Amino acid sequence: MIEISTFTWIAIFAVSAAVINGIGIFVVYKNRQWATKMKTYLICFAAGVLISVPLMFAFPNAINKNFFAGFAALIGFLFMFFSDKIIKKRTKQRHLAFGITAAEGIGIHSFVDGIIYTVTFSASILIGLLAGIGLVIHEFSEGVIVFSILIKGGLEKKKAAIYAFFIAALTTPFGAFVAYPFVSRLNESVLGLALGFVVGVLIYVSASHLLPEARAHEKQHSTLAFLAGVALALIIVFTKMA
């Protein structure tokens, strides 16, 4: 059996995230109504995965590497909390300024996603796979969101699609590849702190970003989609532990 290196896993998921994001942009470009409908279910499913992975697997793993990983998780959560407040404050502007500032926030978020791939896979292939599944799935909805934001900001459809791809899709592999040379040199203790920080980020993204977005556009079977994400994470973890 061929063993896949950590960097290869990171590259596969980071590039896949960009591709799925691009598909989301393309689909909403062609059929906005269908993409918007599917976005809710995908967000719920991704939220289920991303809330389960940190709590039942990634956080215990981080604590095992470094006792103070809980403090790092709190810092990660607060970092996202205050970043979100700053972005929301800036996006109160109207028209094109709204689109640009909102897209800027998503671009930073996507860059951080790339770093998360690098940290989680460096800590454990299983943690990377679990977190990666949730992150890749939510990339579709992110593509839909950033395209819609740019359209709302007044951009023409073709320009909005191109800008959305550069802002939301390509920033993820860029973040992963930029972070890898640094993360790959971390010892176990420091990696535990980095993983703890990522846990805080993932919990915030799921509980304060994905779930509220899904509830705001709740549809029939949204809860089932969320529970399916939780179930997938549980099945993968228990299969690995068996």
In tens digits, what is the pLDDT along the chain, a chain of 242 residues?
456 788 999 999 999 999 998 998 898 888 877 777 777 787 788 788 778 878 887 888 889 989 999 999 999 899 888 877 776 676 555 444 545 555 666 677 788 888 888 998 988 888 888 888 888 877 887 787 777 767 766 678 888 888 888 888 898 899 899 999 988 888 889 989 999 998 888 888 788 877 776 677 666 777 888 888 888 888 877 766 55
Rounded CA gap, 223 and 232, in Å? 14
Query: Which residue is associated with the tokens 């039942």?
Result: 56
Rounded CA gap, 130 and 152, in Å? 34
Distances (CA, A) of 62 to 8, 193, 194: 22, 7, 8
Cβ contact 59:50 at 8 Å: no
Q: How many CB atoms lie within 10 A of CB 106?
A: 20
| Token output for 170 | 């390509």
Domain ranges of the chain: 6-62+87-184+209-241
CA angle 43, 98, 147 (to 5 degrees): 45
Q: How many CA atoms lie within 13 A of 61 on its CB side?
A: 24
